[in-house]
Amino acid sequence: MMHQTIRSGSPTVPDDRGVHLRLDGLSKRYGDAVAVAGLDLAVPKGELVALLGPSGCGKTTTLRMVAGLIKPTDGRIVVGGHDITLMPPYRRDMGLVFQSYALFPHMSVAKNVAFGLEMRSLPKAEIERRVKEALAMVRLEALAERKPRELSGGQQQRVALARALVIRPSILLLDEPLSNLDAKLRDEMRNEIRDIQQSLGITAVFVTHDQVEALSMCDKVVVMRGGKLEQVGTPVDVYEHPTTPFVASFVGRTNRLEGKAHGDGRVTIGSSEIRVPGRPGGMVEIMIRPHRMKLVETGSGEDVAAEGMNRAAGRLSRVTFIGDLLQYHVDVDGTEIVVEAASDHGRGFRTVGSTVTVLWRVEDTMVFGRSA
Amino acid sequence: MTAIAASMAPATPRLALGRTGTAIALLLPIAVINAIGFILPVLNLLRMSFNEALAGGGVREAFTLANWTGLFGDTFYVELIVNSITVSLGITLATLVVSYPIALYLHRSSGRWRTFLTVLVISPLLTSAVVRTYGWIALLAEQGPIVSTIAAMGFSPPRLMFNTTGVIIGLTEILMPYMILSLLAGFGRLDPRVEEAAMTLGAPPAKTFWRVILPLTLPGIALGCLLCFVLAVSSFITPKLLGGGRVFLLATEIYDQAIVTLNWPLAATLSMLVLIIFGAALGAYARVLRAID
């Protein structure tokens, strides 16, 4: 990987149409530890892009470099054709929403929202009008004179959102904004943030470790691991066509098997054999989504090996009821496979210990070559 | 063993105190000590301030307002009071200005470095104020390093000792550890994320300081100022030595009246006045805290 050194002086960069935010070989090292390693990314104007990954993957560091709160070791940050790598945060015109809200505790809600406008020395009347608008947008007009500590977590997060948006930033940055909210509120805020982002047509970068947030809210998902890009694509792409086993297992649930491919579409796993798409060879990792699999009782007549289907026989070791779903844990040759089925009024429980057959389509089998 | 202990437990008589009872029992020793060692002497002092002073150090039991009216009728004492309060406020302000950056840096540092710096900040307290004052006398003296350096640079050498300047310099340094510790104790609300939020919203460092950092550290500032003001008003050795008998403050005057002139009723009156000033300072502190919240 070639590392570019930080360039300054030439503020303009050849324009690439439609790209609003571009990261060129962006890196951050702390001594020997690499937090972000040569990240290249282009965010088109008006898109909401998720940086998704486990903690420590460098997603927050990347966001903080874009905001100007961390100085990159290498690489460039380009916004609208201007190199802003060395620009201090207070000139960057970005709205940042923190996981911990970071509201000013000594100011009222209205004062919090007005802060960015006051820093821009706008006339008083305009500040008042825009604060009102912003608070109306997040439905908090009634709480304008309250102090942050008098608000609930969800209300505080909406103030933080209003405060970041009222300055009409060029880019909205969201650092795990929903992580401190409870599940129900999180769903609400997810839709709210998405609606506001779309109605304003603002370019936004959303850092999260929650694949549901990334998939449901964003135009594009950037999966990161160990400071590097693992895969960039639409939510459907990343979920349905993961390019690496890491993406397959991090985005959505998967069953993971290991086997030996014969180069003709057949893979031997333990004592059984399945078919996979393509003609891989050597040692392979097999991933199958639990909801793509079907459980049938052995000997029920449904378990015949149809064309284009894989089958595996096993023993039902556990059934978990999780409301909308039933999870069947099947022991196939000592490997546990999880099958998910929609729960129909609590029906569909099968006897634990019975012999069952798992069926899934060949095309739903994801295969990854094993380098080692 | 445990079974035996458990079965025996109900047999031992329990002190049925309850929560409040326990609190009172725990507070009783210090309450007694405070009553005997502080409240009684203060009441005694109050009584003394209404007694009549006789020539040669005698005291006659009486009830006269002469000490109090004499105090406010005498321009020397009015000036003394005003001077004491102004000098103490000046010392408090100087201590705050030099301590604040140190406290902010300490607040932001972490790990062993922070421990080391904290010890460094507190270490002057290991030496008595007398020793440190003599240190300042050596430094500020007419032939001392500071004055001679200034003279060598071609400026007319200033008087840094045996005047109010010397007292302010000495007391500022002596009070710094108290100020720094108070500031640190009051910096709890200062969250680095909040400073970052201010910056991303367009506030340059100076504006971030005035609009966010300073307001959030006001509780620490109020606490440190209260403590240092009280210590400055009541400090006696440093003004005595660095003032060289030319700086007249309440604490030094109380000493002179009680020990040199032997006018105990006047000394008691001045002492009560200092207590009133402390009360006013506490009241101001409470008001500031309420305003911050």
- Are A104 and B212 inside 8 Å of each other by CB? yes
Contact B199 A91 (CB under 8 A): no
| Contact residues on chain B for A90, CB-CB shorter than 8 A | 199-204, 208
What's the pLDDT at B121?
92
Taking each helix axis as running N to C, give the angle between helix B218-234 and helix B264-292, from 0 to 180 degrees, rounded to the nearest 10: 180
- Candidates A89, A103, A106; nearest CB to B200: A89
Contacts of B200 in chain A (CB under 8 A): 67-69, 89-90, 92, 94-96, 164
**DSSP of A88-137:** -GGGS-EEEE-TT----TTS-HHHHHHHHHHHTT--HHHHHHHHHHHHHH
Q: Which of B57, B91, B246, B112 is nearest to B178 (CA)?
A: B91
Question: What's the mean pLDDT when you consider all of chain A?
Answer: 88
B14: confidence class by pLDDT, cuts 50, 70, 90:
low
Backbone angles phi, psi at A316, to 5 degrees: -70, 115
Examine the pLDDT at B6 and tell me if it is beyond 50: no
Which of A7-16, B7-16, B268-277 shows the lowest per-residue confidence on average (mean pLDDT)? A7-16
In angstroms, rounded to a whole number, what is the distance separating the alpha carbons of residues A101 and A103? 6
Residue A66, pLDDT score: 96
CA distances from B38 to A132, B42, B44, B154, B271 (A): 57, 6, 10, 54, 13
- State what percent of residues in chain A have pLDDT above 90: 59
What's the pLDDT band for B245 if we cut at 50, 70, 90?
confident
B211 to chain A, closest Cα gap in Å: 9
Q: For the domain covering B69-292, report its CATH number.
A: 1.10.3720.10
With 90 as the cut, is the pLDDT of residue B271 above it?
yes
> Which residues from chain A sit within 8 angstroms of residue B198, using beta carbons?
104, 115
pLDDT at B247: 86
For residue A341, the model assigns a pLDDT of: 87
Retrieve residue B262's tokens: 């032997």
Place of tokens 């005291």: B59
Minimal Cα distance from B201: which residue of A? A116
pLDDT number for residue B32: 95
Instruction: List the structure tokens of B255.
Output: 């000493």
B257 is written with which tokens?
């009246």
Report CB contact under 8 Å: A94, B200. yes
Closest CA to A143 of A134, A133, A135, A154: A135
Q: Measured between CB atoms, does B112 come within 8 Å of chain A? A: no
Residue with structure tokens 């003709």? A264
- On whether the CB atoms of residues A289 and A278 are closer than 8 A, the answer is no
What pLDDT score was predicted for residue A3?
43
- In a 3-state reduction of DSSP, which class is residue A274? strand
Contact A53, A250 (CB under 8 A): yes
ipTM for this prediction? 0.83
Read off the tokens for A201: 């047509």
A94: nearest CA partner in chain B: B200
Residues A78-92: what's their mean pLDDT?
Answer: 93
Which tens digit of pLDDT belongs to each residue from A315-355? 999 988 888 888 899 998 888 899 998 877 666 667 788 88
Check CB contact under 8 Å for A89 and B196.
yes
Q: Which residues of chain B make contact with A88, given a CB cutoff of 8 A?
A: 199, 204
Contact B202 A90 (CB under 8 A): yes
Contact A67 B292 (CB under 8 A): no
Residue A305 pLDDT: 63
Whether A90 and B216 lie within 8 Å, measured CB to CB: no
Residue of A nearest to B217 (CA): A106
pLDDT confidence of residue A298: 77
Q: Which tokens belong to A55?
A: 């903690």
Distance from CA of A150 to the nearest CA of B (A): 12
Percent of chain A with pLDDT over 70: 92
Architecture label for domain A253-369: Beta Barrel (2.40)
The closest CB to that of A119, out of B194, B201, B292, belongs to B201
Model pLDDT, residue B53: 85
CB of A2 within 8 A of CB of A25? yes
pLDDT band at B54 (very low <50, low <70, confident <90, very high): confident
Q: In the beta sheet, which residues pair with residue B35?
A: none
What amino acid occupies position B231?
A: L
Q: Which two tokens stand for residue A5?
A: 């050194």
pLDDT, position A311: 87
Taking all residues of chain B, what is their mean pLDDT, rounded to a whole number?
A: 89
Q: Do A94 and B202 touch (CB under 8 A)?
A: no
Whether the predicted pLDDT of B248 surpasses 70: yes
- pLDDT of residue B17 exceeding 50, the answer is yes
Any idea which of A343-347, B20-24, B130-134 has the lowest mean pLDDT? A343-347
Class of residue B107 by CB neighbours under 10 A (exposed 0-12, middle 13-18, buried 19+): middle
A121 to chain B: which residues are within 8 Å by CB?
none
Q: From the candidates A84, A91, A103, A104, which should be mutated to test the interface with B, based on the most B CB atoms within 10 A?
A: A104
Per residue in A299-319, pLDDT (tens digit) is 776 666 677 888 888 899 998
- The minimal CB distance from A98 to the residues B197, B216, B292 is found for B197
CATH class of A19-249: alpha beta
Given A100, A105, A115, which is nearest B201 (Cβ)?
A115
- All CATH 3.40.50.300 domain ranges of chain A, comma separated, are 19-249
Residue of B200, B211, B217, B289 to mutate when probing chain A, most A C-beta within 10 A: B200
Q: How many CB pairs under 8 A join A and B?
A: 69
Question: Per-residue b/e over A30-56, b at no fewer than 16 CB within 10 Å?
Answer: eeeebbbbbbebbbeeebbbbbbbeee
Q: Running DSSP on this structure, what letter comes out for residue A352?
A: T
Closest residue of A to B213, CA-based? A104
Residues from chain A that touch B191, judged by Cβ atoms under 8 A, are 100, 102
Give the confidence band of A7 by pLDDT, cuts at 50, 70, 90.
very low
User: Which residue type does A346 have?
Assistant: G
Q: Using an 8 Å Cβ cutoff, are A192 and A199 in contact?
A: no
Identity of the residue in B189, B200, B201 whose CB atom sits nearest the CB atom of A105: B189
Degrees to nearest 5, angle at CA B231 with B228 and B237 = 130
**Alpha helices of B74-163 — where are they, by DSSP H?**
75-108, 111-122, 129-140, 145-152
pLDDT at res. A161: 93
Q: Which pLDDT does position A348 carry in this prediction?
A: 65
pLDDT confidence of residue B119? 93
Of the candidates A214, A206, A212, A246, the one whose C-alpha atom is nearest the C-alpha of residue A233 is: A214
* Backbone phi, psi, residue A77, to 5°: -120, 125
pLDDT category at B161 given cuts 50, 70, 90 is confident
Check residue B213 and give its pLDDT.
94
Would you list the domain boundaries of chain B? 69-292
Specify the range with the lowest mean pLDDT, choosing from A76-80, A316-320, B30-34, B56-60: B56-60
Q: How confident is the model at residue B2 (pLDDT cuts 50, 70, 90)?
A: very low
A34-52: average pLDDT: 94
Residue B21 has pLDDT above 90, yes or no: no
Q: What is the pLDDT of residue A77?
A: 96
Nearest Cβ partner for B197 among A92, A96, A106: A96
User: Is residue B4 pLDDT above 60, yes or no?
Assistant: no
CA B22, B27, B30: angle at the middle one, nearest 5?
Answer: 155
Q: Averaged over A161-165, what is the pLDDT?
A: 94
Considering only CB atoms, B203 lies closest to which of A93, A105, A119, namely A119
Chain A residues within 8 A of B212 when measuring between CB atoms? 104
Contact at CB, B216 and A89, closer than 8 angstroms: no
